Amino acid sequence: MDEKSVDLVFTNWLMMYLSDREVIEFLFNAMRWLRADGYLHLRESCSEPSTGRSKSATLHSNAEANPTHYRFSSLYIKLLRAIRYRDNDGKVWRFDVQWSCSVPTYITVSLQFKISRVSDLNVIRLQILAIE
């Protein structure tokens, strides 16, 4: 994507499939892609699987590693507040965390059992701002 070419970057359960290095690379790219006053909206399953299963109880065979990396929302917020990007004009940009919240989810189980569960599924909205 071209620099400063979009107003919104939206992700849904993306970061949990990226390594730490890939997360940082993606955030720098998102900052580069966004226009001034653009938004980055992240929706992530944090800390644990949103299915209520433990990470060890997965659909993956023993031979195949679980590809998910659950991170605490506080880690994402700390990273987003710390990251800086200098554009081609020498202007330095940062993210401004607008809000973050956990979203309650419901899991419907067969045989008409309904289990209510609040997962640590977080939504983070950020605005990109130039540092004056």
Domain boundaries, the chain: 6-130
Residue 37 has pLDDT above 90, yes or no: no
Region of 52 please: left (phi>0), alpha (psi -120 to 50) or beta.
left
Across 11-44, b (16+ Cβ under 10 Å) vs e yields eeeebbebeeeebeebbeebbbbbeeebbbebbb
Residue 131 has pLDDT above 70, yes or no: no
Q: What is the pLDDT of residue 29?
A: 95
**pTM of model > 0.75:** no
| Rounded percentage of the chain residues whose pLDDT exceeds 90 | 29
For residues 101-124, average pLDDT: 45
Per-residue model confidence as pLDDT tens digits over 79-101: 999 998 888 888 888 888 888 87
Distance CA 7, CA 127 (A): 10
Collapsed DSSP state (helix, strand, coil) of residue 98 = strand
Decide: 101 and 121 in contact? Cβ < 8 Å: no
Domain topology for 6-130? Rossmann fold (3.40.50)
Q: What is the pLDDT of residue 17?
A: 94
